[in-house]
Amino acid sequence: MQPLRQSDLLSLEAYAKQRADFRARVLAHKRDRKVRVGEHVTLLFEDRLTIQYQVQEMLRTERIFEPEGIAEELEAYNPLIPDGRNLKCTMLIEYDDVEVRRRELVRLRNIEHDVQLVVEGHAPVKAIADEDLPRSNEEKTAAVHFLRFELDPAMIADFKRGAAVTFRIEHPNYRAEARLGEAQQKALAADFG
C-alpha cells in the first residue's frame, strides 16, 4: 500500500461536509479488521483507509491546515500502513473498571512481545511492538500498543489461499487465541496487495 500524501487528504471544509458518510464507510470497513483475542485484548488492523480517517480526524480536532502541520501528521501515521509484506495493528487492552485495568496493566507488563500470528503450516511470527517508542516500563504496560507482523512470501501466499490463520497471546498472565473468520481473513489478505 502506498503511503498517504497531502493530495490524498480532504481540506478541513471538505472533510466537514463528508465526515458523516466517510466515518460510516470507515466503520463498516473496520468491522472485519477487528480481532478479539480473549476477553480483554482487541487487535484493530490498520490500512490506508483507516489511517486516512485517523489523519483526517486529527487534522479536524487540532485544526491543522498548514502544509507543515499536515506533513508532520502524515509522518507520524504513515508508518502504520502495511507495505504489502506485513500486517499492522493497534492492540487495545480493555478492562471497563479503572481499578481492575490499573492492576491488570501491571500484571500484563510486556504482553506486546508475546503476540503471535500463525499461518497454518508455518512457524509462528512474533509481533514487532511499539517501534516508535516503548510502551511498557519496569512497572506496567500501556493499554495501547502498535504491532507489526512480517510474513514471508510463502506465508502470504497461504494466507491469501485461505490457510487457517490464528492470533495467539502467550503471556504468563494472559493466554488466548483467536482464529480468523472468513470475512476477517479476506479483509486482511487485501493488505498484501
How confident is residue 133, by pLDDT bands cut at 50, 70 and 90? low
Q: Write the pLDDT tens digit of every residue in 143-160.
A: 999 999 999 999 999 999
The predicted model gives 113-132 an average pLDDT of 94
Closest by alpha carbon to 23, among 55, 58, 53? Answer: 53
Cβ contacts of 67 within 8 Å, gap of 6 or more? 6
Measured in whole angstroms, the distance separating CA 98 from the mean position of its chain's CA atoms is: 23
What does the mean pLDDT of the chain come to?
95
Q: Write the pLDDT tens digit of every residue in 52-98.
A: 999 999 999 999 999 999 999 999 899 999 999 999 999 999 999 99
For CA atoms 77, 168, 37, 24, the dihedral sign is positive
